[in-house]
Structure 1
């Protein structure tokens, strides 16, 4: 489980309280990660192969020990075919070694560029928003707060009516509060604080109506 029972209760209560003063609807989702990043591991493995070829191109003599290991020291001249064969073996070993090492998720994440993580988290957030909040409220006032734990990144995605009135940078305080708490190991508190700040923004632009009903669930969704 991603969150404790206390965290779930805290976030759910924060959503209920935040929606009390607004016609907006807040959906909260927490995911282990937004992508497996296996393509990143493949890119590193290919880079390792190219590095081996570059080294052999710059220092062909580096292949001599491998040649002597196979044919013995009595051979003084390495034929071109032998160099190509050694190169093939070395690039294959380099590829497989990097792929095996990067099968370990923490290392794969550590070697994934921050910009790549940001794009994948944003893409997943938009996909989940379309599935859980977009056009699911009568006034197009749904907001998704998405947290991806492995990347320690979060996204806020708003429906059409909110997006037309609230500039994206307005959500900055909510994002800062959330990420700071996640880095301290308090994701539940961070989600709750972010929800409170989102609710304040929504209350300013979309105050609660007399006939307002709860259109989306308040509980946090864990993926």
Structure 2
């Protein structure tokens, strides 16, 4: 399934222009990535389905008569005796139905992401941002001055990752202004403006800590990467 596009071509051009402007007074190189999601979370969906199936087995063990009488009513069979094999088959059927039902329910994306614990979302977005940084920015500039602004829409998470030459000069808390500027725009539903606001804040930090050197060239593309 193709990821939805959140921004128009005009938005992409605005963000590219903001990146170019932010880099004018700095040797830093800003990479921007907008992701629909940072993970498929199949393991989380399987875990919820397995939990519900296990709980169904527990309910069957606590109140077997309910399930057995329900089965008898469904097949209109009044006279048979329950054997161990039949009981085990009933348990397997109940567990399988519950497991499959929860998996199908989680095909509805709002429910699926609602069920993902916040710490897991945060961790997966952080890991994806680090992987994207290693591929797209880390050690790809002469002075190791690459920095990534990463926004993951479904998880409602963002990350700023800096290369060594920047990270050694800037405390992690300095990026809080950029994150807050981004979140303020996102709360109003302005995704492109959120990225532009973060770029402007990051650019100001880079100008202070990584000023532009004579002969500096643009080593990384200014365009937004939307995945």
**Alignment TM-score, normalising by the size of structure 2:** 0.92
Partner of 2:95: 91
Q: Is the 8 A contact 1:48 1:98 kept in 2?
A: yes
C-alpha separation in 1, matches of 2:118 and 2:59? 28
Give the deviation of 1:68 after TM superposition: 2.1
Query: Structure 1: where are the runs of 5+ without partners?
Result: none
Kindly indicate whether residue 110 of structure 2 is the aligned counterpart of residue 106 of structure 1: yes
The counterpart of 1:152, out of the listed 151, 156, 172, is: 156
In structure 2, C-alpha distance between the alignment counterparts of 1:183 and 1:34, rounded to whole Å: 20
CA distance in 1, matches of 2:48, 2:163: 38
How many aligned residue pairs are there? 222
Instruction: Go from structure 1 to structure 2 and tell me whether the alpha carbon gap of 1:78 and 1:71 turns closer, same or farther (over 3 Å shift).
Output: farther
Secondary structure of the residue aligned to 1:157 is: strand
Match of 2:123 in 1: 119
TM-score (norm 1): 0.93
Question: What's the CA shift for 1:83?
Answer: 2.2
2:13 aligned with 1:9: yes
2:25 alignment partner, SS class = coil
Alpha-carbon distance in 1 for matches of 2:77, 2:136 = 67
The alpha carbon displacement at 1:191 in A equals 0.3
Counterpart secondary structure, 1:29: strand
Partner of 1:197: 201
The CA deviation at 1:37 is 1.3
- The whole-number CA distance in structure 2 between the counterparts of 1:205 and 1:65 is 74
Q: Quick check: 1:20 aligned with 2:27?
A: no
Is 1:208 matched up with 2:212? yes
**Corresponding residue number in structure 2 for 1:80:** 84
1:154-169 matches, within 5 Å, as 154-169=158-173
For the residue of structure 2 that corresponds to 1:145, the secondary structure is strand
Correspondence 1:53-68 to 2 at 5 A: 53-68=57-72
Decide which of 174, 178, 182 is 2:182's aligned counterpart.
178
SS of structure 2 residue aligned to 1:27: strand
Q: Distance in 1 between the 2:42 and 2:68 partners? A: 35
* SS state at 2:19 partner: helix
The farther-off stretch of 19-28 and 7-16 is 7-16
In 2: Cα distance, 1:167 partner to 1:45 partner: 42
Deviations along 1:3-54, one digit per CA (max 9) or x if unpaired, are 1123212211211111111111101111111111121111111011101011
User: 2-side partners of 1:165 and 1:35: how far apart?
Assistant: 31
**Residue 121 of structure 1: CA displacement?**
0.8
User: Contact 1:152–1:182 at 8 Å: present in 2 too?
Assistant: no
Q: Secondary structure at the match of 1:7?
A: helix
Aligned CA-pair RMSD: 1.5
SS at the partner of 2:167? helix
Q: Is the 8 A contact 1:178 1:193 kept in 2?
A: yes
Aligned to 2:50: 46
